[in-house]
Amino acid sequence: MKLPSLQQLYYGFRNVIKRFPLQFIFAVAATICWCYYIHISDYRYHSEPNEKLEGHLIKAIAILNLALTLLLALDLISERNQYLPIKKWMLRVGGILICAILYFSLDPANYSADLYRIFLFAFAFHLLVAFAPFIGHAKMNGFWQFNKALFLRFLTSALYSAVLYAGLAIALVAINGLFNADIRWQTYMTLFAIISAGFNTTFFLAGIPTDYKLLEEDQSYPRGLKIFTQFVLIPLVTIYLAILLIYELKIAVQWQLPKGLVSSLILGYSVFGILSLLLVYPVKETAGNNWIKLFSRFFYVMLIPLVVLLLLAVWKRVGHYGITESRYILTALALWLAGITIYFLFSKKQNIKVIPISLCITSLLATYGPQSAFSVSKFSQLSRLKRIMSSTKKEDIKERPAVIRYLVYTHGLKTLQSFTKKDLSKIEQKIDTSDTYRYSMKEKKVDTALAIFKVRDERKYDEGVNIKLQNDENQVLNVKGYDYLIPINQYPNENLIRLNGADLKIERSNLNVSLSINNQPSLHIDFKALFDQAVKAYQKGELKAIDKKQAYLYPAKLMTVSKNINGYQYTIVLTTLESTYYDDNRDDYFWNETTTYLLIKKL
C-alpha cells in the first residue's frame, strides 16, 4: 500500500471541498458539536448539568451524519446522470429539508422509539450510497468495483485515522509526563472527535471514485480479497453452520422451542455468508472457481431451515411478550432473508444490487407509517396491556409494570391516554418542564402512570429497613478481668496470631466470624443467623428501641460466645451488628457492619 504524499492529501482535500461542499460542512459541524459536548461534559460534577443542551448536541451529531450520507447519495446520483447544477441543488435542498424535519420531529433523548428511527435511517442512507449511482444502470461490474473501492477506502481511512490518533495521543502523554502539562481526558476525546469525525470523513470522501465508465471496464480483482474470503470468511460461515445444524438436530430430538441466542447465530451466518459471496462475485465465472457456484447454492439452500428456525425463535418471544421494536426488526430480517434466499435460488439474473436495495427499502418502511416497527410495536403492547389489566392471573399482574415502563420509555406517557380520562399530554408536558434530568423525568412519568393505573412495580428497588443491634451489656466494651483484647476487622480477612504458645487464626467473612486454636475450630458466630433471629423479634415488636434511627438493644448472651481451652477463656463479643432487612427476603446477599472483639484471659 503506497502512502499518500502531502501534495496528494492537499489535492484530495481541495477536491472534497469542491465536489462535496455540503458534506464537508456537515463533517465540520458534527466535529464542532462533538467537541462542544465533550467540553460541557467536563463540568458535569461542578455545576448542574444542562441535559437538554447535551441532548440537542447528540441529536445534532446524529442528524448531521444522516444529512452527510443522504446528500452524498444524492450527489452521486447527480454525478452519474450528469444533472445540471440547478437540478443537483434541488436534490440537495430536498435532502436538507428531510433532515431538518427529522431534527425537529425526533426526540431520542426522551423516546427510545426515535433512537431506533435514527439507527434505521442511518442504515438505510448508508445502503443508499452503495447503489445510488447505479439506479437505472444494469451492469454489475461497475456496481461491484464501486463498492469494492468504498470498502477498501473505508478500511484505509480507519487505519490512517487510528495511526494518526495513536501517534498524537502518545505525543500528548509524553508532553504530560515530561512537562507536567496536566492534559486531561477531555483533550484526548477532543482529539479523537477531530480525527474520527473530521479527518476520517474527509479522507474517505476524497477516495470516492469519479469515473463510472472506468469502473465498468475495470476487471481487476485483489488476490488478497479472494484469499481473505476463501480462508477466513467461508471457514467462519462453516463453523456457524455446523453449530446451528447440531442445535437444530437437538431441537428436533428434544422437541423444544429454540433459545433466543440462536437468532444472533443465524444472523451472523447470514451476514458472513452473503458478504463472502459478494466479495467473490466477479470471479465466480472464471476458470477454476466452480467452488464459488457450489458454495453459493449450498449457502442459500442451508438458509431455508435456518430462516424457519429464526422465525420460530422470534415467534416464541412474540407469542408471550408481544412485538417490540427489536423483535419487529428481527422478524423483518428473517422475512428479508427468506425473500433473498428464494430470489437467488430461483432467479437466473442473480442481480446482487437486490441485496442493498431491498435492505434499504425494508429499513425505510420500518421508520414511519402503520406498517412501521413503532406503530406495530405500540399496537401490540397496548393490546397486551389491555388484556393483562383485565386479567386476574398472577403472572399477568406481574407483567403490568414492565409493559407500562416500556410504553412510557419508548413512546411517551401520552401513549396510555386510552386507559384514562386524565389528560396525559398535559401531565407529560408538566413533568418535562419541571426537571432537567432525563432519567428522573422518565422515572416520574413511569411512576405517574403506575399511580394512575394503581399498579405496583414489583421490580422497583426495595430500599429495605436498616436495623442496628447493640449489645445490651456491652454498648461500651467491658474488659474488666481479661488479659488480652484483639479487635476483629469488620471487613473479610484472616489474622494469624501466636499467643503464649498457641496459634490463633481469626477468620472474618460477610456471614460469620470464627476462631481456630492450633488448627482446631473453637468459636463461631453466624451473623446472618443472628440477624435473621433479630428480624423476627423486630417484626413482632419485641426489640427495645434506643432512638429513632432504627437502633435496638439486643441480649448480650446472643451476641457473645465463650469457651475455655487449655487454661484460657476465649470470648468473641459483638458490641454492634448493623444490616438491612428486605421485605422480599433476599437470601443471595447479606451486607453487614459489625464491631467485634476477641477477649482472652488466663484462668
* Residues contacting residue 131 through CB under 8 Å, at least 6 positions apart: 143, 353, 356, 357, 360
580: phi then psi, degrees, rounded to nearest 5: -120, 135
What is the per-residue pLDDT across 539-578, written as a single tens digit (0 to 9) for each?
A: 888 888 887 667 889 998 999 999 999 889 999 999 998 8
What is the per-residue pLDDT across 2-36, written as a single tens digit (0 to 9) for each?
A: 556 677 778 888 999 999 999 999 999 999 999 99
What is the per-residue pLDDT across 164-186, written as a single tens digit (0 to 9) for each?
A: 999 999 999 999 888 888 888 88
176: phi then psi, degrees, rounded to nearest 5: -65, -40
Looking at the domain assignment, is residue 460 inside a domain?
A: no
Write b or e for each residue in 92-119: b if 16 or more Cβ atoms lie within 10 A of its Cβ, otherwise e.
beebbebbeebbeebebbbbbbbbbbbb
Mean pLDDT, rounded, for 105-110:
89
Mean pLDDT, rounded, for 510-529:
89
Angle between helices 112-131 and 140-179 in degrees, nearest 10:
120
Q: If DSSP codes are grouped into helix, strand and coil, which group holds residue 16?
A: helix
Structural domain including 116 reads 6-217
Mean pLDDT, rounded, for 532-540:
87
Comparing C-alpha atoms, which of 242, 241, 228 is closest to residue 275?
228
What is the per-residue pLDDT across 217-237, written as a single tens digit (0 to 9) for each?
A: 888 888 888 788 888 888 888
Domain boundary among 329, 346, 368: 368
How much is the pTM?
A: 0.75
DSSP assignment letter at 118: H
Q: How remote is the C-alpha of 552 from its chain's centroid? A: 45
How would residue 268 be classed by pLDDT, with cut points 50, 70 and 90?
confident
Q: Do 193 and 255 fall into the same domain?
A: no
Q: Do 124 and 201 fall into the same domain?
A: yes
Q: Do 213 and 227 fall into the same domain?
A: no
Q: Do 129 and 168 fall into the same domain?
A: yes
Count of structural domains, the chain: 4
Instruction: Give the pLDDT of residue 463.
Output: 62
Q: Do 162 and 47 fall into the same domain?
A: yes
Q: Do 476 and 441 fall into the same domain?
A: no
Domain boundary among 174, 199, 217: 217
Kindly tell me if the per-residue pLDDT of 98 is higher than 80.
yes
Q: Do 211 and 228 fall into the same domain?
A: no
Kindly list the distances between the CA atom of residue 321 and the CA atoms of 143, 256, 298, 403, 507, in Å, as whole numbers in the listed order.
42, 18, 35, 9, 48
End-to-end CA distance of the chain: 87
Q: Do 496 and 589 fall into the same domain?
A: yes
Instruction: Give the pLDDT of residue 218.
Output: 86
How would residue 465 be classed by pLDDT, with cut points 50, 70 and 90?
confident
435 vs 70: which has the higher pLDDT: 70
Q: Do 271 and 195 fall into the same domain?
A: no
Looking at the domain assignment, is residue 61 inside a domain?
A: yes
Query: Partners of 488 in the beta sheet?
Result: 596
Comparing C-alpha atoms, which of 447, 457, 374 is closest to residue 413?
447
How would residue 378 be classed by pLDDT, with cut points 50, 70 and 90?
very high
Percent of the chain with pLDDT over 90: 44
For residues 406 and 404, give the distance between their C-alpha atoms in angstroms, rounded to a whole number.
5
Q: If DSSP codes are grouped into helix, strand and coil, which group holds residue 274?
A: helix
Instruction: Give the pLDDT of residue 45.
Output: 43
